[in-house]
Chain A
Amino acid sequence: MNRFKYISRVVPALGFCLFLGTSGCDQELDLSPQQSIDANEALRTSQGVESALIGAYSILQSGSLYGGDLNLTSELLGGTPSTISWAGSFATYRQISQRSITAENGIVTGTWITAYQAINAVNNVINAINVVDEARRERVLGEAHFIRGIMYFELVRLFGLPYEPGQTNSQLGVPIVLTPTTIITDENKVSRNTVEEVYAQAIADLTQAKNLLPESNGSRADTYAASAFLARVYLQQAGAGNNAAANQFLTKAAEEADRVISEGGFSLVPEYENEFNNSQNTSEDIFAIQQTVQSNAGSANAGLATFYSANERAEIEISPSFVASFEPGDERADVYFLSEDDILFNHKYEDYAANIPVVRLAEMYLIRAEANQRLGGAPIGGVTPVEDINTIRERADLDPVASVTLDDILRERSFELAFEGQALHDAKRLRRNVANQAYNSPRLVLPIPLREINANSNLVQNPGYTG
């Protein structure tokens, strides 16, 4: 064996990586995680993007959003001891119920963080929409816009001062982020947009969702879910006034509500209490969070059942005077019952693994009735407010009424939708005081979380909060 022949084999072996460039060896450093997949890989296929959309729904389910705190924050901050009280140990919820929130409040922080996680998730879906199979592309895009729209709507009404119809609404809302985050740079230090801009974004997203989504979409968002949320958004924008500006929003709210009622094929569940604690969507559910034993908002420290149910932590007590204010025979009062300790609890969220209705048909009747009542003239949809209210009353096993006032409609609304997350937003929109706080009091607006102010010097804190 010749020495040079030997060298000619050995040296290239060594030199393979040393001298001949590193491209071949570089690949050996390119390993893939196994329980996770690289973000670059995740959204390369239609299946991948659709899975990411499912992931966004699971974020909506979290205890910080529809699984819990979007409801609880609204009910505790917008409630008074005459309806609801916090009897639990968590100081965070206590601060909210006392309307003296600090910027460190973990519930507020959690809602902010999780809502933006949902937004980032759907921004990824929207950004990658072109890889989705054409047959499903519109639906997927529609759902993504739906989720983004409802998140901006929830954020702006919690973290911004109320919308004033007919004005510029330059008060600060929340930052609008429409592109997915791939890396973190200084560009992620976004500023707050105005309330006007955030509402416009929510409406744009929901309108797109309405146009893209099919008539029915299993338990996920369909075109009527988008309409139902649009009805809510417009109603929120209308405020309490009866002027041209408000009427413009009321008209749109009534139209969207009417579309759901007349075209959506939904129907009220015959028994009021059967609308809650179901494992499947009911005929009344327009959009509901789907929970199972495996996927839910929690059973120990988070989730609606955890706090409301007498069988769980039982930390939210319902006022006897509120339950006493129902008309005799109103079946809707039956969802509140006494525990062994003679305390009233709300049993709409009894089972941590049951669905959580987010928007349901009864609310559409109430929106159409309220808007038509306030607008006067020929009712949109051709159904009078009194007819709509009687539809609601009959299901509650109450006698129909011959006529209604706006106050009657709003009272009906407060019974029908009690503790479903409307309290704070209804108070603000109807310009009602909450305890001694005016509807536009800074104390009814959540603080921008302190951790967020610390991480982003471009954010301006809300009035009344330090840090």
Chain B
Amino acid sequence: MKKLLLLFSLLLSVLSFSAFAQSRTISGRVTSASDGTALPGVSVVVKGTTTGASTDANGRYELSVSGTPTLVFSFVGFLNREVQVGTSSTIDVQLSEDAKAISEVVVVGYGTQESRDLIGSIASVKGEEIADIPTPSIESAIQGRVAGVQITSGSGKVGQGIKVRVRGSSSVTASNQPLYVVDGIPITSESQGISNNEPTNPLADLNPNDIESIEILKDAASAAIYGSRASNGVVIITTKRGRAGKTAFDFGYTNGFSKPTNKVEFMNSSEYLELFNESMANSGYAAFLIDVGFFDNLDQVKDYFMPDWRNPANSNWQDEVFRTGAYQQYDLTASGGTDKTRFYVGGSYTDQDGILKGNSFERMSARLNIDHNATDKLKLGANFSLARTVNNRVADDNAFATPLQIVALPPIQPIIDPETGEYNTNTAYYNGLIEIRDAFRKSVSYRNLSTLYASYTIIPGLTFRSELGLDLLNQDENTYQGRETQDGAPEGAAESRSVTVVNYTTNNFLNYNKRFGEIHDIDAVLGMSFQKSSTESNYVSGIGFPSDEFTRIANAAEINFGSSEGTEYSLLSYFTRVNYKLLDKYLLTFSGRVDGSSRFGANNQYGFFPAVGAGWILSEEAFLKDVEFLSLLKLRASYGLTGNDQIGNFDARGLYSSGSYAGVPGTYQSSVANPDLKWESTAQLDLGISFGLFNNRINGSVDLYRKKTSDLLLNVQVPATSGFTTITRNVGKLENKGIEIALNTDNLTGPFSWSTNFNIGFNRNKITDLQGQVISSGAINRAMEGEPIGVFYTVKYAGVDPNNGDALYYLRAGSDETTNDYSAAEQQVVGNPNPDFTGGLNNSFSFKGFDLSVLLQFSYGNEIFNNAGRYQSANMDWVDNQTRDQLDRWQKPGDITRVPQARFGDSNGTGNSSRWIYDGSYLRGKTLTLGYTLPSGFVSRYHLTRVRVYASAQNFFTVTDYPGWDPEVDTPGSGPSAQRQNVGLGTDFYTTPQAKTFSFGVNIGF
């Protein structure tokens, strides 16, 4: 392997080529045959060679040729045209649109493919669709744009991890996040943060405006070439590259502000007092405390629990932690080059203050992508990107320090202590405003994502490409909690952690592309890949600081914990794909990958992941060819195996760890070798149909799939007489099946144009075999056989007894019998956090210089458990402020309500139950953008090529029955393990709502 790398670098550095021939320059302009407009980006190639150029923004090209060759003009969505070069040095060409093509080339694993020839199920999002959307990372920008991909921002905290589920969850204990590949290189995408803060999101290091396209590989035919990492789908991100032509500069500026999508109505001071007094009066607990002599009367009980009742303030705590967030982004890019060397260079600065005080995200990034044709046959290139992101984070939702837990504080307690003039420290629970003032959690990451490549055309049609990618992530996280904070008392506490992830990959592959006699088309890839990722981390914490101005570990009186760790994994792979097309209508594909992983056990070190697929372009058949309105009709079927390699780096190994006895270091065996341990394995069947009607003005696809996952990793008990208690084995099974529909229509063309994109995905998840185990996670979630992953499992709430105000529960599943004895009620499946369907609807309009696009996004049928309900919507069982709906409590016999009688401390209806499970369906106005492009005649006077101003809104409306802050909610919990992320779904716990953002911006090209 090392030799290979050496050879590769030699290849890049030493080899040089020179082309010699007598050449002259040809130039011209390429326009559309239909409307005469300039076509930028048209490829102009000397036939039989790779010499070529692309047209610039004005459709102009320039090319040096020798002799009188034939030039091939090709452009996506247009018919190729060949022109014989005569003596003229100017060749202007008109291209006609290709009615039968769905005008797209999509990026696939280790190559590209015309979407017309695709068998696999691939969703594609173009960079311009997500440009200038004010979100830190790309996942939220593609939410609602692709069928079958469920994207959930756990909360509205900026810079945090986002869940992406491609065709459902395929694992219970291993990660369900897709593999991310940027410019051919798999990147590090897991959270790298301190575990008790929100997970970080390494994808936020990518500037969305640098992205040319995002492809999501969903089925086995497209994803199996990524083998043991493809079960959760593969997201291929391609960055922008330069095109030959005059250097084009683009400047973009956006400025905006954001607010929470929603605030929850909590009781005000007088409502609180009313309910508090009532609750105390009804309280058996208070009566008991008086009975046993702790207190003489009810007023003393109130004095003890909530002394402020005598002199109530009127505080709105919720308003104290929210703020109007601010957003700004600057981008400056330049791209262009010659037919020999093309470049794209971009710099960007983003600064986003979240809607929560203390939560912000800042990114500086730069990118340089270069392509160079060294000779006719040899192309070299490089991508370099550097980013620095600063994320000021807040504590996770479980911590009292998390900002939104402040809503638990009673409105009758003052925010500012009148005696001290400072934040009130005598609140019922920790006053989170002190945390905001005196603590920080700052994470700074530096990211370098770079790729070098060389590609050499050995003979026409046969190309060898070698890529070397480096993903370097360095993150420093410093936290400080001041002396008045809950966890920093009495003298301050600080943590410092740094982590470096070095992840390099080399891909070396041959690509063979040839058409034989207008009958057979072969497109084949064969190659190998090696990847190694090493993580080093250091952690140290200290307590005891002279004052809150001193916040670094160096100032700590006591270093109370320190650690240094390292881990790594490597992956050696061989892959191939053969696409065969017969008579332009019969498609076959075979792909396969052999993955050897350092993670897998010795008996299963290599896994094989094959996929086969077939397609039939019916519209090419004689019997349909004459059907005028039918542009495309294609049937597709594929079947294949993929894997999930997200097991621990050394879980397969027998390991000794260190310990000590009597001050002497010793070792003990912490795990037993597990040589059979391997990937989780998913077999996926996909049946699809793609169609285009009326010159493709209506096009779309429907896919049916079934993913059967076996070899799920579960802990299995072993005889302890072996010295060990459990071992991880590949034993469980689950399945996902579903249907995805994508429909795109050009409703109106011409000066006023209107197009619509609609997508919807239905997925049904079911766990079929956990070896009888029940895996609990989150608040009330479970993974259990026969149920979808993460079902809510608890006692079922039956409302309130109208006679006495007691909370009632169903005694047994399937029975109407109720009880007021919480402990007698049986737990049962009471809800499902998985949606029945998700999707989006985008409408785009343009008229003259105006453009308008409106994206709606929806999720239907998922339920949400508000785990904070037992404190905040619990009929004033304790001192926590209550949501206003609790005013609807039972008060007198005959009252019909869902809110039990208020009885302080009596736990009337406060046990976990389905009482706080709500329908989480929602329809959201996700993105609205209204832009106006100034007339080119006008702007060219100022030597500008393009000026567009726009206004945009994110999450601008939400329709939901969910009474909490926001229905897009999924608290990550503390210490977010993969299992917690997979099973603990759809739970709200003082979780920050999403932000509603309005922004204004300008794009200037010159």
Please list the residues of chain A having a beta carbon within 8 angstroms of any beta carbon in chain B: 1, 3, 6-7, 9-10, 12-14, 16-18, 22, 24-31, 33-42, 48, 51-59, 61, 112-113, 116-117, 119-121, 123-124, 175, 177, 180-184, 188-190, 219, 290-292, 294-295, 449, 451-452, 454-456, 459
A30/B527 in contact, CB under 8 A: no
Number of interface residues of B (CB under 8 A): 69
Known: A181-B672, A295-B660, A456-B721. A37 touches B655 (CB 8 A): yes
* 28 A/B residue pairs, CB under 8 Å, sorted by A: A1-B16, A1-B17, A9-B10, A9-B11, A24-B1, A25-B572, A29-B596, A29-B598, A30-B598, A33-B653, A37-B656, A52-B656, A58-B661, A58-B666, A117-B668, A119-B723, A120-B669, A121-B669, A124-B669, A184-B674, A188-B719, A190-B719, A291-B662, A292-B662, A292-B663, A452-B719, A452-B720, A455-B719
Smallest Cβ distance from B663 to chain A, in angstroms? 6
List CB contacts (< 8 Å) of B555-580 with chain A: 565-572, 574
Encode contact with A along B652-680: 1 for CB under 8 Å, 0 otherwise: 01111111111111111110111100000
A188 to B674 alpha-carbon distance, docked (Å):
14
A29/B570 in contact, CB under 8 A: yes
Which 3 A/B pairs are nearest by Cβ-Cβ distance? A120-B723, A54-B666, A39-B654
B662/A295 in contact, CB under 8 A: yes
Known: A188-B718, A292-B663, A295-B662. A28 touches B1 (CB 8 A): yes
* Chain B residues closer than 8 Å to A459, beta-carbon distance: 719
List CB contacts (< 8 Å) of B656-713 with chain A: 656-670, 672-675
* Chain A residues closer than 8 Å to B720, beta-carbon distance: 112-113, 116-117, 449, 451-452, 455
From A33, A124, A290, A459, residue with most partner B Cβ within 10 Å: A33
* Chain B residues closer than 8 Å to A175, beta-carbon distance: 721
* Chain A residues closer than 8 Å to B565, beta-carbon distance: 34-35
A18 to B593 alpha-carbon distance, docked (Å):
12
From B15, B570, B670, B721, residue with most partner A Cβ within 10 Å: B721
Known: A54-B665, A124-B669, A184-B727. A39 touches B653 (CB 8 A): yes
A152 to B3 alpha-carbon distance, docked (Å):
55
Q: B4 within 8 Å of A by Cβ?
A: yes
B722/A454 in contact, CB under 8 A: no
A sample of 13 more A-B contacts (CB under 8 A), given A24-B1, A54-B666, is A9-B10, A13-B4, A16-B7, A17-B530, A26-B596, A29-B605, A35-B566, A38-B655, A55-B666, A113-B720, A120-B724, A182-B654, A183-B674
A177/B722 in contact, CB under 8 A: yes
- Partner of A31 from B527, B568, B655, B661 at Cβ < 8 Å: B568
Smallest Cβ distance from A10 to chain B, in angstroms? 5
A58/B659 in contact, CB under 8 A: yes
From B17, B574, B650, residue with most partner A Cβ within 10 Å: B650
Encode contact with A along B445-458: 1 for CB under 8 Å, 0 otherwise: 00000000000101
A38/B653 in contact, CB under 8 A: yes
* Chain A residues closer than 8 Å to B757, beta-carbon distance: none
Smallest Cβ distance from A242 to chain B, in angstroms? 37
A25 to B650 alpha-carbon distance, docked (Å):
19
A452 to B725 alpha-carbon distance, docked (Å):
9
B574/A17 in contact, CB under 8 A: yes
B572/A116 in contact, CB under 8 A: no
Of all chain A residues, which has the CB nearest B567? A34
A36/B666 in contact, CB under 8 A: no
A455 to B716 alpha-carbon distance, docked (Å):
9
List CB contacts (< 8 Å) of B1-52 with chain A: 1, 3-4, 7-8, 10-11, 15-17
* Chain A residues closer than 8 Å to B11, beta-carbon distance: 9-10, 13
Smallest Cβ distance from A189 to chain B, in angstroms? 6
* Chain B residues closer than 8 Å to A25, beta-carbon distance: 1, 530, 572, 596
* Chain A residues closer than 8 Å to B572, beta-carbon distance: 17, 22, 25-26, 28-29
B456/A6 in contact, CB under 8 A: yes
B721/A190 in contact, CB under 8 A: yes
A13 to B2 alpha-carbon distance, docked (Å):
10
* Chain A residues closer than 8 Å to B1, beta-carbon distance: 16-17, 24-25, 27-28
* Chain B residues closer than 8 Å to A61, beta-carbon distance: 661
A39/B673 in contact, CB under 8 A: yes
Of all chain A residues, which has the CB nearest B729? A184
A295 to B665 alpha-carbon distance, docked (Å):
10
B660/A54 in contact, CB under 8 A: yes
B655/A52 in contact, CB under 8 A: no
Known: A28-B572, A31-B570, A456-B721. A57 touches B4 (CB 8 A): no
From A25, A124, A184, residue with most partner B Cβ within 10 Å: A184
- Partner of A57 from B510, B598, B661 at Cβ < 8 Å: B661
B672/A16 in contact, CB under 8 A: no
* Chain A residues closer than 8 Å to B717, beta-carbon distance: 451, 454-455
Smallest Cβ distance from B787 to chain A, in angstroms? 23
Q: B649 within 8 Å of A by Cβ?
A: yes
Q: B124 within 8 Å of A by Cβ?
A: no
A34 to B461 alpha-carbon distance, docked (Å):
46
Q: B883 within 8 Å of A by Cβ?
A: no
Q: B528 within 8 Å of A by Cβ?
A: yes
B667/A55 in contact, CB under 8 A: yes
B672/A183 in contact, CB under 8 A: yes
Smallest Cβ distance from A353 to chain B, in angstroms? 11
* Chain B residues closer than 8 Å to A6, beta-carbon distance: 15, 456
Of all chain B residues, which has the CB nearest A295? B660
Known: A54-B661, A184-B718, A451-B720. A28 touches B532 (CB 8 A): yes
- Partner of A14 from B15, B528, B650 at Cβ < 8 Å: B528
* Chain B residues closer than 8 Å to A119, beta-carbon distance: 723
A40 to B653 alpha-carbon distance, docked (Å):
9
* Chain A residues closer than 8 Å to B721, beta-carbon distance: 116, 175, 177, 188, 190, 452, 456
* Chain B residues closer than 8 Å to A14, beta-carbon distance: 464, 466, 508-510, 527-528
